[in-house]
Structure 1
Amino acid sequence: MTFPVTIYHNPACGTSRNTLELIRHGGIQPTVIEYLSHPPTREKLVTMIADAGLTVRQAIREKGTPYAELGLADPSLTDDQLLDAMLAHPILINRPFVVTPMGTRMSRPSEVVLDILPDDIFHGPFTKEDGERLLDEEGKRID
Structure 2
Amino acid sequence: MTITIYHNPDCGTSRNTLAMIRQSGEEPEIVEYLKNPPPRDKLISLIATMGITPRALLRQKDTPYVGLNLANPKWSDDDLIDFMMAHPILINRPIVVSPKGVKLCRPSETVLGLLAVADIGQFVKEDGQVISPKRPGRHAE
Q: TM-score, normalised by structure 2?
A: 0.92
The answer for the alignment partner of 1:75 in structure 2 is: 73
Partner of 1:7: 5
Q: CA RMSD in A?
A: 1.3
Are the counterparts in 2 of residues 27 and 121 from structure 1 also a CA contact under 8 Å? no
Q: Following superposition of structure 1 onto structure 2, how do residues 28-43 of structure 1 map, counting pairs within 5 Å? A: 28-43=26-41
Please give the alpha-carbon distance, in whole angstroms, between the structure 2 residues aligned to 1:88 and 1:141: 40
Q: Does 1:127 align with 2:97?
A: no
How does the TM-score come out when normalised to structure 1?
0.91
Cα deviation code 1:79-118 (max 9, x no counterpart): 0000000000000000000000000000000011111112
Aligned-partner residue type, residue 36 of structure 2: H
Aligned residues: 137
Q: Distance in 2 between matches of 1:59 and 1:107?
A: 11
Question: Offset of 1:54 from its aligned partner?
Answer: 1.1
Q: 1:24 aligns with which of 22, 25, 28?
A: 22
Answer yes or no: is the 8 Å Cα contact 2:24–2:117 preserved in 1.
no
Matches of 2:45 and 2:25 in 1, distance apart?
A: 27
Match of 2:114 among 108, 113, 116: 116
CA contact (8 A) 2:100 2:115 kept: yes
Preserved contact between residue 14 and residue 94 of structure 2 (Cα < 8 Å): yes
Provide the C-alpha distance between the structure 1 equivalents of 2:59 and 2:118, rounded to a whole number of angstroms.
Answer: 32
**Contact 2:58–2:92 under 8 Å retained in 1:** yes
Runs ≥4 residues deviating over 3 A: 140-143
Task: Find the residue that maps to 1:104 and give its secondary structure.
Answer: strand
Q: Given the superposition, is the C-alpha separation of residues 71 and 120 from structure 1 closer, same or farther in structure 2, using an over 3 Å criterion?
A: closer
Percent sequence identity over matched residues? 53
Hey, what's the Cα distance between the residues in 2 that align with 1:59 and 1:83? Answer: 10
Specify every segment of 5 or more residues in structure 1 that has no aligned partner in the other structure, as ranges: none
**Is the 1:10–1:16 Cα contact (8 Å) retained in structure 2?**
yes
- CA displacement at 1:125 relative to structure 2: 1.5
